[in-house]
Structure formats: structure tokens, C-alpha cells
Amino acid sequence: MTVNEMTKVIYDAIDDKIGQDISIINIGAVSSLCDYFVIATASSQRQVKAIADNVEDELTKLGIEPRGKEGYETQTWVLLDYGDVIVHIFNEEQRGFYNLEKLWKDAPYVDVDTLA
């Protein structure tokens, strides 16, 4: 599976659980950290967990396991590290506070329709 295909699966898994304001940022254009950040907002802690669980479940079906997981304890910001793609699921308050899009403002946005 290519990185673009994996990113599309992640996007769809987030969208399936009604994630809001889904952004795909091409971090690889400005850093060697990874290729993409996928960032989304959830309306509650329960939804943060549900979205993160759905992303993990969909990729596990494809034989892809996260290298790391953070934030399941608080469920205000869950990070799933898939190496080339890092997924950030925020509640509204945390997304505004950390504002990753502003932090990585030099990285271009990617339209999900160009991935697959």
C-alpha cells in the first residue's frame, strides 16, 4: 500500500465517524518527520476515541499497525503514528490551542481527491 492510499484510508475512517475539519498537510515538503499529517476535530472525548479507534481498526484490517499511540488516557488529543503518516484527533479546544496548521504553515495542504 502506498502512503497516499494509506492516507486516503485514514481520511475515510475519520469521515466515517463524522470527524470535522479534516486537513491533510504535506509535512514531507518541509521536514523529514513524515510525509503527511492528518488532522481532525471531534466534538467530544467519546468521539475522539471513536475516530481514533476506527482509524486503527481500518488500518489493522490492512495489516498496518501504529508505531505509537498517545493520548488515549485523556481523549482530548489522540496521536497515531504510522511512520509516514501521523494522525492527530483533537477535541475543539485542544485543536485551537495547539494549532498545528499554523505551526506547520509552510507545509502545503493536500486535497484528498488527489491521493488515490
pLDDT value of position 99: 94
pLDDT value of position 110: 96
pLDDT value of position 98: 94
**In what order do the strands lie in the sheet containing 36-42?**
20-25, 36-42, 85-91, 77-81, 68-70
Best CA proximity match to 82, nearest among 72, 70, 68, 100: 68
Q: Residue 41 and residue 48: Cα distance in Å, rounded? A: 8
Q: What is the mean pLDDT of each run of 10 residues along the chain (116 residues)?
A: 96 97 96 96 96 98 97 94 98 94 94 88
How many CA atoms, within 13 angstroms, populate the side-chain half-sphere of residue 23? 20
pLDDT value of position 27: 96
CA 75 vs. chain centroid, Å, equals 14
pLDDT value of position 116: 67
Residue 73 and residue 56 in contact, taking contact as beta carbons nearer than 8 Å: no
Domains of the chain, each with CATH number or no CATH: 3-111 (3.30.460.10)
